[in-house]
Structure 1
Amino acid sequence: MTDSGSDERSPWSRALGVVSAVGPPVTVATALLFYFGWARADAQAAYMGLNVSLFGYGIQDYLLISINALFLPLVCILAAAIAWLALDSWLRRRIEEGRGRSLILRAAGIGGLISGLVVGISLLLTVLEPARTALFTPYLMALGVLVATWCIHLRRRGRDRTAPVLSAEQHAVETTLVLSIVTLLLFWGTADYAQALGRRLAVDFERGVQFMPRAEVYSAKPLGIGSAAVQEVSVGTADAALYRYDGLRLLVLSGGRFFFLHDGWTPEDGTVIVLPDDNSVRIEFKR
């Protein structure tokens, strides 16, 4: 009866193993991409004196915004994960075969202790001196938690190679707690990195505004643009009024609105001009 129950649970165990191994990483990665895109866009908009909601970005927009900046880090993380799996498999095999077992256990103990100290010191410095916290500190803490947990598992494996040290419930709780801590640290680090990148991009707009597409806006009614860098020129007739506005640079078209900067724009004293994407204005772009 025990064997039958074990056979009945085996497919479910394998299915749950696949879900736990594939589902959570994909979910966390998607959430990180979305959160990174939103945090980057929010910091960039705030540095320019705007609210990110004005751009009307959707979920897909935030994901696309984040992929360009996170593509290389994600590839590096996946490559490191593959290398870690290979190293973990090699060390476990040596422990089971009894080759260098004492040396591996000793190194795992030292590595776990050092990782724990790194996490504790980083957290203490973050609490005491938050303004001086390095940008990569949350990622360093996440790595420390993972390495410390891995070292503990290696030592457990080496002490008892036949019976599990923890029950299935205890192991599930431990894994959930570790993944929760690592996920929170990743979101923390992602927010800091995204905000720094967003502010840097806003500064880059100031340096590269002259390279943005030049735009001429035509309107049958005065638009009343309140920037001295934007010139209003009447090009119509007495019967058909028409006004042209020069000195504009296209920033982005999003959410049914055109966002323009002007020549000489700076985050400190510049103006962002927002016009609707409809028939009320006509826009010509030039190089």
Structure 2
Amino acid sequence: MSTDVDQEVSDAVEEADRETRGSLVRSLLAVVANVGVLTALLVYFGWVRSDQMSKMLGIDEAIFGMTVDDYVRRSVQPVVLLPICVAVAGLAWVGLDQWLRRRRTRLGPDDRVVTWVARWMWLIAVGAFVLGLLLGLIGYPLTFIAAPLVCAGGMLLLLYGLTLRGGLRDSVTFAPMTEGVLRGAIAILAAIGLFWSAMNYATVEGTELARDFPNQIERLPGVMVDSAQPLDIVSPGVDVTCTGSGDDLRYRYRGLRLLESTGGNYFLVSDEWTFDYGVVVMLPVDGDGLRFTFVRDVYGIADAGGFGPCTAATTEDASEG
């Protein structure tokens, strides 16, 4: 008789535990796998990275006039790493949960290991949360990025620990409303941790891109700008030549590189851009009298294409006038 009662209790606990886990998984997936959340994560990452890089380059991110599509395209590849980390952690949790369930099925709900994990998982969760805080204080790029994720993992472990504790014989379960508030609060904190980690990741990437920018200038697409009117581009490394005279006078600016193409404008920097003196030139893509030629000149063999010194052309034009 006692065996039958124990079996019924065990079955009831198992059923309640299964329902709780299913509800927990659905709650987490609703936050993590939501398309709106992922899109917002991509946009936020792209904006933070662009803003951090722009500040270090000495300009304001708002000048670029980037759209949502611009932010998303610049953040898809880096942001993919964050969901991968979350997925790996989720698989690890599935492995732990399956091991505990099999052990409890095999040895009963009073198994010493299962009981110990159920009673003290909250302490492991608190330890993970504290570890996340310490990682944030260390200051290395990797720990700076991982800290919010570890804190979010600690919160999820806390929820899991409370779920396991609810399956013990002497436990007192949460009221339905209290349990709903608890899960909702932890889901919000987990989402904040994901966004916080994305912000840190974007900050690190934007900083690294800006620091290495002088070394990457030669890899940017070269640009020659032809104009019917003088553009007065004054920047180290920019060379201006002219051809024709009178109404046919045209200016050619060389030594420029394409930094960004967004908002209907080209943003150009010079070959000799430095942190001490760097100029960013903004020209409209469809500006009147403008023509852009994109050049790949690995060995520096491009010539002026028939354009000569502007002094002679402008002097001749002035004398004719």
Instruction: Tell me the TM-score normalized by structure 1.
Output: 0.82
The CA distance in 2 between the partners of 1:77 and 1:235, in whole Å, is 60
Distance 1:124 1:180, change over 3 A: same
Aligned equivalent of 1:13 = none
Distance 1:273 1:159, change over 3 A: farther
1:272 counterpart (266, 280, 284): 280
For residue 85 of structure 1, report the CA deviation from its aligned partner: 2.8
1:13-162 to 2 correspondence within 5 Å? 20=27, 22-25=29-32, 26=34, 27-95=36-104, 98=108, 101-120=111-130, 122-123=132-133, 134-135=143-144, 136-159=146-169
For residue 250 of structure 1, report the CA deviation from its aligned partner: 1.1
Cα deviations by residue, 1:162-209 (Å, 9 ceiling, x for unpaired): xx8122211110001111222222222221111110111122321111
1:225 counterpart (229, 233, 242): 233
Equivalent pair of 1:203/1:267 in contact (CA under 8 Å): no
The CA distance in 2 between the partners of 1:46 and 1:160, in whole Å, is 58
Cα deviations by residue, 1:84-121 (Å, 9 ceiling, x for unpaired): 23432442354355167321231344443133134246
Structure showing greater radius of gyration is 2
The CA distance in 1 between the partners of 2:138 and 2:82, in whole Å, is 24
For residue 22 of structure 1, report the CA deviation from its aligned partner: 4.5
1:138-287 to 2 correspondence within 5 Å? 138-159=148-169, 165-280=173-288, 281-287=290-296
Task: Indicate the SS of the match to 2:275.
Answer: coil
AA of the residue aligned to 2:286? D
AA of the residue aligned to 2:156? L
Instruction: Tell me the TM-score normalized by structure 2.
Output: 0.74
Equivalent pair of 2:236/2:271 in contact (CA under 8 Å): no
Equivalent pair of 1:95/1:158 in contact (CA under 8 Å): no
* More displaced 10-residue stretch of structure 1: 261-270 or 38-47: 261-270
Higher relative contact order structure (alpha carbons within 8 Å, sequence separation ≥ 6): 1
The CA distance in 1 between the partners of 2:95 and 2:134, in whole Å, is 33
Equivalent pair of 1:213/1:249 in contact (CA under 8 Å): yes
* Unaligned ranges ≥5, structure 2: 1-22, 297-321
* More displaced 10-residue stretch of structure 1: 144-153 or 91-100: 91-100
The CA distance in 1 between the partners of 2:89 and 2:128, in whole Å, is 20
For residue 221 of structure 1, report the CA deviation from its aligned partner: 0.8
* More displaced 10-residue stretch of structure 1: 139-148 or 239-248: 139-148
The CA distance in 2 between the partners of 1:231 and 1:92, in whole Å, is 73
Equivalent pair of 2:70/2:262 in contact (CA under 8 Å): no
Equivalent pair of 1:250/1:259 in contact (CA under 8 Å): yes
* Unaligned ranges ≥5, structure 1: 1-15
AA of the residue aligned to 2:129? V
The CA distance in 2 between the partners of 1:59 and 1:125, in whole Å, is 32
Equivalent pair of 2:28/2:187 in contact (CA under 8 Å): no
Equivalent pair of 2:129/2:154 in contact (CA under 8 Å): yes
The CA distance in 1 between the partners of 2:271 and 2:127, in whole Å, is 52
How many pairs were matched up?
Answer: 268
* More displaced 10-residue stretch of structure 1: 81-90 or 37-46: 81-90
Distance 1:182 1:18, change over 3 A: closer
Distance 1:175 1:29, change over 3 A: same
For residue 78 of structure 1, report the CA deviation from its aligned partner: 1.8
Task: Indicate the SS of the match to 1:194.
Answer: helix
Equivalent pair of 1:233/1:243 in contact (CA under 8 Å): yes
Cα deviations by residue, 1:108-137 (Å, 9 ceiling, x for unpaired): 4444313313424654886xx697894022
Distance 1:96 1:155, change over 3 A: farther
* More displaced 10-residue stretch of structure 1: 256-265 or 60-69: 60-69
The percentage of aligned residue pairs carrying the same residue is 34
AA of the residue aligned to 1:30? T
Task: Indicate the SS of the match to 2:166.
Answer: helix
